[in-house]
Amino acid sequence: MKTKKIDEVFKRLTDSITEPITALEYNSEFELLIAVILSAQATDISVNLATPALFRVAPTPSKMLELGENKLVGFIKRIGLYKTKSSNIIKTCKILVEEHDSIIPDSRKELERLPGVGRKTAGVVLNVAFGKPEIPVDTHVFRVSNRVGLVKAKNVDETEKQLLKRVPDWAKPKAHHLLILHGRHVCKARKPMCRECCLIELCEFKEKNLT
């Protein structure tokens, strides 16, 4: 897809999606980090059901450490992989307290040193909390980007590299959420709503789905 066409894709998505923001509920950079760790292989809905009560008692790294792993499990056991996530969160909070004065680092290198924080999680925190032009790739971003023709990639890492190279600078800060929300509500995995899509004239997938 040519540069002019890619620019038009993001202009249309921007016009169509008025609030390209995360669905995760949080009140601080720390709460965002914990919510994103919990959201791995889980739904935002399940995370949002668990975190309000958790954040009331443990809104900081030190408070989370005081809570401890066993009590933390009680708050998040409705979320997938809760045992592993509980362990990682406590380890992460220990590092934040001892090495970062409880401040969330704003560099990918330091974020990815934290247990439970991989490339995608770090990218989300950098993008949402610090406004950096990162485009972390989840299943929605991967599907939409390849379907529409923004990229031609076989995996999430290659998809991210191509998006960072091709997405116009003005759209990079919100590209992640524009693509996620378009994937959740329009360009769905099983039954994409092509006839209602704002990208219908631009999409390379439409002809296959409309025949």
Q: Is 152 one of the annotated active-site residues of the chain? A: no
Q: Which two tokens stand for residue 34?
A: 């914990």
Q: Is 7 one of the annotated active-site residues of the chain? A: no
**Cα–Cα distance list, 202 to 148, 162, 166, 169, 195 (Å):** 7, 18, 16, 20, 13
Asked if 135 and 160 count as a contact pair (C-beta separation under 8 A), the reply is yes
Identity at 56, one-letter amino acid code: R
Q: Which of 60, 61, 90 is CA-nearest to residue 73?
A: 90
Q: Which residue's structure tokens are 């009140």?
A: 27
Considering the candidates 85, 120, 174, 206, report the single residue annotated as catalytic: 120
Considering the candidates 5, 44, 138, 172, report the single residue annotated as catalytic: 138
Identity at 136, one-letter amino acid code: P
Catalytic residue ranges: 120, 138
